[in-house]
Amino acid sequence: MEKEENLKQDPTAHEPSNENNEAENQTNVNQGNQENTEEKKELSLEDKIIELEDKLARTFAEMENQRRRFEKEKDDALDYGGFAFAKEALNLIDNLVRSKLILESDEALKNTEALKKTLEHFDIINKDLISIFTKNNIKPIDCLNKKLDPNLHQAMMEIEDDQKEPGTIVQEIQKGFLIKDRLLRPSLVGVSKKVVKNEKIEENEGKLDK
């Protein structure tokens, strides 16, 4: 009887308390947040690994590029390190050619035995220089009777010539040279062009032919 009276007086005695429900809900929320955090951490680690792999790949690629650049610079230094010296050395050949022309045009020396022997010595020296240059991969450019190539030749004048196709090299003013596959200096040349006749002269020639 006392129990029944107590129940009647406190009808909520057997109902779960709100405080317990709130505690359980909070626990569930905390557990859910913890799971999300762990998931985010796992994703973050994966992203970091991918990022590190990408950086490592970029680093290796850059190292390979630097190695190739270094190898190319080393090869260029070996192949073209004497470029400036070789260009200056060409003055020896130029001076020989000029000296030869001066002696050949000297009226007092023409047809003399002394001139003949001197020119022969000049030719020997010139051949020796060309041979030394060739052994060191410095080669003269062969240009006479070839078509003008702007990569190898520099036209200094035009010469009327109906026997040659226009643009053909008919005169070499200064010899050009290559060092391996690189231009040391271009050949200075004269190229052929068609003969241009005066119209009045052509008319007169036509009348004379009639």
DSSP string of 132-147? HHHHTTEEE---TTSB
Instruction: Choose between 88 and 83: higher pLDDT.
Output: 88
Is the pLDDT at 69 greater than 80? The verdict is no
| 161 located within any domain | yes
Angstrom distance (rounded) from CA 159 to CA 142? 19
> What per-residue confidence (pLDDT) applies to 168?
92
| 46 located within any domain | no
> What per-residue confidence (pLDDT) applies to 202?
52
How many structural domains does the chain have? Answer: 1
Instruction: Choose between 185 and 83: higher pLDDT.
Output: 185
| 191 located within any domain | yes
| Residues 122 and 99 sit within 8 Å (Cβ to Cβ) | yes
> What per-residue confidence (pLDDT) applies to 6?
47
| Buried residues in 62-86 as b, exposed as e (16+ CB within 10 A) | eeeeeeeeeeeeeeeeeebebeeeb
| 51 located within any domain | no
| 11 located within any domain | no
Q: What is the DSSP letter of 210?
A: -
Is the pLDDT at 170 greater than 60? The verdict is yes
| 1 located within any domain | no
The SS3 assignment for 13 reads: coil
Mean pLDDT of 147-175: 91
> What per-residue confidence (pLDDT) applies to 149?
92
| 9 located within any domain | no
pLDDT in tens, 5-63: 544 454 444 444 555 555 555 555 555 555 555 555 555 777 777 887 787 788 778 87
The SS3 assignment for 173 reads: strand
- Label residue 208 by pLDDT band (50, 70, 90): low
| 152 located within any domain | yes
Number of neighbouring beta carbons within 10 Å of residue 148: 17
The SS3 assignment for 167 reads: coil
pLDDT-wise least confident of 17-21, 149-153, 184-188? 17-21
Question: What CATH number does residue 167 fall under?
Answer: 2.30.22.10
pLDDT in tens, 88-147: 888 888 898 888 888 888 888 888 888 899 899 999 998 998 898 888 888 999 999 899
Q: What is the extent of the structural domain holding 183?
A: 139-195
